[in-house]
Amino acid sequence: MTVDVTVSIECEADIVSARQKGRELAAATGFSSTDQTMIALAISEIARNIVTYARQGKVSIGLLDEGGHRGVLIIAWDEGPGIPDIELAMRDGYSTGRSLGVGLPGSKRVMDDFELVSAPGRGTTVTMRKWLR
């Protein structure tokens, strides 16, 4: 992976910036406008979780090229409170905040690969990939 950009996430403006960077990289990679929107959506949801629950973190967005198979890789991480029950957090409608509870499962649905690693008191890392068809 080539990391093209890392955005520090601390506020709403940072979420917008990360989403725009992801859309730009997706466009440059050749993704359709629909896939660009899905990638931006996933970045936005994960970055919003950083602001809401961890207060600060980072999102790295890069180009993937594995044997001629191209795509984008997004890695978001924080040192926040962590997620005590990942299985529960991945259920539609579950939220510990005042949201609809669709951010994590929704991001997983629109990306090709999705991995969430978290531990209470140690933070959370989300790794997502979208492959160019």
Domain ranges of the chain: 2-131
Assign residue 107 a region: left if phi > 0, alpha if psi is -120 to 50, beta otherwise?
alpha
Q: Are 77 and 117 in contact (CB under 8 A)?
A: no
Indicate the burial class of 49 (C-beta count within 10 angstroms; 0-12, 13-18, 19 or more).
buried
* d(C-alpha 92, C-alpha 74), whole Å: 22
Per-residue confidence (pLDDT) for residue 59, from 0 to 100: 98
Task: Residues 2-131: name the CATH superfamily.
Answer: Histidine kinase-like ATPase, C-terminal domain (3.30.565.10)
Per-residue confidence (pLDDT) for residue 84, from 0 to 100: 87
pTM above 0.75, yes or no: yes
Per-residue pLDDT tens digits for 43-90: 999 999 999 999 999 999 999 998 889 999 999 999 999 988 888 888
Segment 94-99 shows an average pLDDT of 59
Q: Residue 99 pLDDT > 60, yes or no?
A: no
Q: Residue 1 pLDDT > 60, yes or no?
A: no
Looking up tokens 């890069």 gives 62
